[in-house]
């Protein structure tokens, strides 16, 4: 069964460094998403992406964050200058269509630890 994959599974970085989290969505899906979950807290929406541009973004997704689909398969989340509070599990998700038509499928997550 097709699945969303994410790399790396765990990333440790120092405060102020740039990190890139990678995701390979399910191949026939058109909408891509990033969510994060700080330890012990709710899963929070960051950004949605469709047709090579951001569709929606939350208040969390500030200028430190960016997303890109550099080729036909990968979808990346870049954090330019990491802060301690960026430590969280980051989930990528994809769906065939957006806006309520199809369910979102999540990857296993990347645990980001900022020291």
Partner 1 sequence: KQEVTQIPAALSVPEGENLVLNCSFTDSAIYNLQWFRQDPGKGLTSLLLIQSSQREQTSGRLNASLDKSSGRSTLYIAASQPGDSATYLCAVETGYSTLTFGKGTMLLVSP
According to the binding rule CB under 8 A, does residue 106 interact with partner 1? yes
Rounded to 5°, the CA angle 95-100-104 comes to 30
Rounded to 5°, the CA angle 114-61-23 comes to 70
Least distance (Å) between residue 45 CB and partner 1: 5
Please say which residue, 14 or 59, places its beta carbon nearer to partner 1.
59
Least distance (Å) between residue 71 CB and partner 1: 23
According to the binding rule CB under 8 A, does residue 71 interact with partner 1? no
According to the binding rule CB under 8 A, does residue 62 interact with partner 1? no
Least distance (Å) between residue 9 CB and partner 1: 10
Site map 22..51 versus partner 1, x via CB under 8 A: ---------x-x-x-----xxxxx--x-x-
* Spatial distance between the Cα atoms of 19 and 7, rounded to a whole number of angstroms: 12
Give the footprint of partner 1 on this chain (CB under 8 A). Answer: 31, 33, 35, 41-45, 48, 50, 55-56, 58, 91, 93, 95, 98-109, 111
């Amino acid at each position: 069964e097709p699945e969303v994959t994410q790399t790396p599974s765990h990333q440790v970085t120092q405060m102020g460094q740039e990190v890139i989290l990678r995701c390979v969505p399910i191949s026939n899906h058109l909408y891509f998403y990033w969510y994060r979950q700080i330890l012990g807290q709710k899963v929070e929406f960051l950004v949605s992406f469709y047709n090579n541009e951001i569709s929606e973004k939350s208040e969390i997704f500030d200028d430190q964050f960016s997303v890109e689909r550099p080729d036909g398969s990968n979808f990346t989340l870049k954090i330019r200058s990491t802060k301690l509070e960026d430590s969280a599990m980051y989930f990528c998700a994809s769906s065939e269509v957006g806006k309520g038509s199809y369910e979102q499928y999540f990857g296993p997550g990347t645990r980001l630890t900022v020291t």
